[in-house]
Amino acid sequence: MSEFLQLVFSGLTVGAIYALIALGFTLIYNASDVINFAQGDFVMIGGMGTVFLMASGLSLPLAALIAVVAAVGVGLLLHRLAIEPARGASPVTLIMITIGASIFIKGVAQIVFDKQFHSLPAFSGDAPIPIGGATLLPQSLWVLGTAIGLVVALYLFLEHTLVGKGLLATAANRLAAKLVGINVTLILAMAFGLSAAIGALAGVVATPITLTRYDIGTLFALKGFAAAMLGGMGNPLGAVVGGLLIGLLETFGAGYVSSTYKDAVAFLMILFVLFFLPRGLFGGRSVERV
Amino acid sequence: METSARLRPMLRAAAFALSAFGAAATFGTTARAADPIKIGSVVSATGPSAFLGDPEARTLKLYVEELNKKGGLLGRPVELVLYDDGGDANKARTFATRLVEDDKVVAMVGGTSTGATMAMIPVFEEAGIPFVSLAGGIEIVEPVRAFVFKTPHTDKTACQKIFEDMKARGITKIGMISGTDGFGKSMRNQCLKVISDYAITVVADETYGATDSDMTPQLNKIKNTAGIQAVLNPGFGQGPAIVTRNFAQLGIGLPLYQSHGVASKSFIDLAGPAADGVRLPAPAILVGDKLAASDKQKPVVAEYKASYEKATGQPVSTFGGYGFDGIQLVTKAIEKAKSADPKKIRDALEGTKDYVGVTGVYTFTPTDHLGLGTDSFRMLEIRKGDWVLEAPTR
């Protein structure tokens, strides 16, 4: 029983990180139909930025804040310089653009930061909390808490603010949104900025657990993409459920079956979704609204 | 008309080659005293393995300069012909050919990675030029090749050192958690090969991906396996740091052994307080100032550390030490052979006995071109963020 509980804790922690990345995918996909493979690099910028700002003497909250703002800047630049000029290009072209951007960001990060692994101190100590024979790190609570907080905040923003509704309207039908006076370009830029912020925050809270390096974004992007696919591309709730599910599946796979195929889980899920659930678990929502 | 136009440059090239050959033949046999002795090197001073290759390149340059200040070898200056393969094994091979055919080196020190070394071996074997590799893989010297030697200890030696320590502490059943990258895989295999010599059995054998961020499921499995007395983690990079953290999180409370792959300060930084109590084999250079005054390696390590840090302004590393031992072994062999003939240098190299280097004490034999025993490793324990040298277990 304690073993099961341990695996649940572990799976939820990893899953929450995937969920946050999937959320970023979803947000950009919704607003602009772009699958942004540079999403994982926002996570890296958040983590690495905080590490280096702290090393230069800033406190953790201030360093994290600046790192998140920097990531938002990168997100906006990505939209302004790479996505916006290619407006109207095919989805495949746009995906290639984001992959190129991801390679570019990694290259710059190698120069601005370095090529070593780095870590952050845990926010509230390293003493594990014993629960029912298993142990949970305080940092896991930070990750889970951040994930829950961001999901709730995003929900409130999308459903209860005018700007949020504008984003949903743009997602549903760009032309119609434009016709009712919504500044579509601004909304799209906002989607990029917002998902960069979510990714960077995920990077800040996850770094004490996962460590960080200039190229850590690639794996996160793949796992987050798998989570978003499983949940149904474009559905925020689906992104969260998908992320947690992949985290749990990986952990249970490694704990009960074999650790050899741990990374295969995410890719098997993508194949499974493509074959049997082309719309993912919660994908039904993307029907045209009138 | 057309054919002769095409032939002319070929003829010219042939004539040039012939005259060059003739010149080499006449001058080569009657080398003037001032002709430099050329030692070749190909290292990965840039690229992904730069943290290995850069200190190697700096060390080689430094010591060839020092040698020339002292008057060189056999009354002749020494010239280091150094190329940077940027971590690309194909380039390494091209440079190796150039060293043999154009630069006419008499010996070679280099090969930062096992891949680059394996790519270059055929070139030097065929040319009959001694090659001292600076890479870790055991396949470089197993099977023994006539002209190939190497300076870094192998993962097999590390396994033996760890098992010696376990045996001395009465540990007979262990759990293993290995990285699935090249280093982790190779060391796992080497450990499994030698483990039966120490009457130790592996009762849990787990793996993790090189980029995994959570190893609690695997460690949980190990924790719940009955009878485990210690855990061994062959790995490199960030994986072992996360394993160490998860190990502490789960409160496993057994001795945790890491490999020489984490023998650097950055591991202690990454693993944080969880690193307390971790045991690992490491070369003497890591604990140079903590070595006993009677230790044979102490003066060598201290001298290398001082001159490297003075010349480069950078902290000394294990990898530069491999380069130091490589160049020393070759130059000592040239002195001993009293000749710059590659074959004679090779024979002198193979006769190296009790050479005290930075990495260990080398004794080459016709069947052992690594020449290091388990005493080339020191058993360390991490306590309060620093290495503590353990008394020899034998």
What's the pLDDT tens digit per position in B101-151?
999 999 999 999 888 999 999 999 999 999 999 998 888 998 999 999 999
Residues of chain B neighbouring A124 (CB-CB closer than 8 A): none
Between CA B283 and CA B260 the distance in angstroms is 8
Minimal Cβ distance to B216: which of A10, A115, A213:
A10
- Chain B contact probe: residue of A21, A117, A223 with most B CBs at under 10 A: A117
Residue B30, pLDDT score: 46
- Interface contact flag, A259 B214, Cβ < 8 Å: no
Between CA B87 and CA B71 the distance in angstroms is 34
- Those residues of chain A whose CB sits closer than 8 Å to some CB in chain B are 3, 6-7, 9-10, 13-14, 17, 115-119, 121, 126, 128, 130, 135, 137, 206, 209-211, 213, 216, 219, 251-252, 254-255, 259-260, 262-263
Distance from CA of A179 to the nearest CA of B (A): 47
Are B63 and B104 contacting, i.e. CB atoms less than 8 angstroms apart? no
> Chain B 165-184, CB below 8 Å of chain A: which residues?
180
pLDDT at A188 over 80: yes
Work out the mean pLDDT of chain A and round it to a whole number.
89
Residue of A nearest to B206 (CA): A259
- Interface contact flag, A213 B213, Cβ < 8 Å: no
Q: For the domain made up of B35-153+295-363, give the CATH fold.
A: Rossmann fold (3.40.50)
Residue B394, pLDDT score: 40
pLDDT band at B222 (very low <50, low <70, confident <90, very high): very high
pLDDT band at B1 (very low <50, low <70, confident <90, very high): very low
Averaged pLDDT for residues A21-27: 92
pLDDT at A267 over 60: yes
Between CA B229 and CA B170 the distance in angstroms is 9
Residues of chain A neighbouring B207 (CB-CB closer than 8 A): 259-260
Averaged pLDDT for residues A45-52: 96
**More confidently predicted of A271 and B34:** A271
Beta strands in chain B (DSSP E): 37-43, 78-84, 107-110, 131-133, 148-150, 173-179, 201-208, 230-233, 256-258, 279-283, 355-356, 361-362, 377-383, 386-389
Residue B10, pLDDT score: 57
- Chain A contact probe: residue of B243, B249, B265 with most A CBs at under 10 A: B249
Residues of chain B neighbouring A128 (CB-CB closer than 8 A): 248-251
> To the nearest whole percent, how much of chain B has pLDDT over 70?
90
- Interface contact flag, A14 B214, Cβ < 8 Å: yes
Q: B156-282+378-389, superfamily in CATH?
A: Response regulator (3.40.50.2300)
* Strand, coil or helix: B13: helix
Between CA A271 and CA A95 the distance in angstroms is 19
Partner A contacted by B220 (CB < 8 A): yes
Minimal Cβ distance to B249: which of A119, A137, A210:
A137
What tokens does B6 get?
């095409």
Is the complex ipTM higher than 0.95? no
Residue of B nearest to A250 (CA): B217
- Pairing type for strands B148-150 and B355-356 reads unpaired
Residue B6, pLDDT score: 58
Residues of chain B neighbouring A211 (CB-CB closer than 8 A): 213, 238, 241-242, 270
Partner A contacted by B189 (CB < 8 A): no
Distance from CA of A67 to the nearest CA of B (A): 20
Distance from CA of B186 to the nearest CA of A (A): 16
Q: Calculate the alpha carbon distances from A26 to A155, A225, A227, A235 in Å.
A: 13, 9, 10, 6
Residue of A nearest to B272 (CA): A121
pLDDT at B12 over 70: no
Work out the mean pLDDT of chain B and round it to a whole number.
88
Residue of B nearest to A136 (CA): B249
Residues of chain B with CATH 3.40.50.2300: 35-153+295-363, 156-282+378-389
Residues of chain B neighbouring A3 (CB-CB closer than 8 A): 220, 224
- Interface contact flag, A254 B218, Cβ < 8 Å: yes
Residue A3, pLDDT score: 85
Q: For residue B243, what are the contacts with CB-CB under 8 A and spacing of at least 6?
A: B177, B208, B215, B219, B233, B235
Averaged pLDDT for residues A151-157: 90
* Strand, coil or helix: B116: helix
Between CA A138 and CA A96 the distance in angstroms is 39
pLDDT at B177 over 60: yes
Other C-beta atoms lying within 10 Å of the C-beta of residue B266: 14
Phi and psi at residue B377, to the nearest 5°: -105, 145
- Interface contact flag, B217 A251, Cβ < 8 Å: yes
- Interface contact flag, B180 A260, Cβ < 8 Å: yes
Does an H or E element contain A245, and which?
A: helix A236-252
Partner A contacted by B201 (CB < 8 A): no
- Interface contact flag, B214 A121, Cβ < 8 Å: no
Minimal Cβ distance to B208: which of A3, A219, A259:
A259
Residues of chain A neighbouring B248 (CB-CB closer than 8 A): 126, 128
List alpha helices for B30-181, DSSP H.
Answer: 50-69, 89-101, 114-127, 155-168
Averaged pLDDT for residues B200-207: 93
Residue B68, pLDDT score: 94
pLDDT band at B306 (very low <50, low <70, confident <90, very high): very high
Q: Which residue shows structure tokens 């029912």?
A: A132
Q: For residue B341, what are the contacts with CB-CB under 8 A and spacing of at least 6?
A: B106
Distance from CA of B213 to the nearest CA of A (A): 5
Residue of B nearest to A51 (CA): B270
Averaged pLDDT for residues B306-320: 90
Residues of chain B neighbouring A213 (CB-CB closer than 8 A): 238
Q: Calculate the alpha carbon distances from B354 to A166, A197, B158, B304, B328 in Å.
A: 78, 60, 20, 18, 13
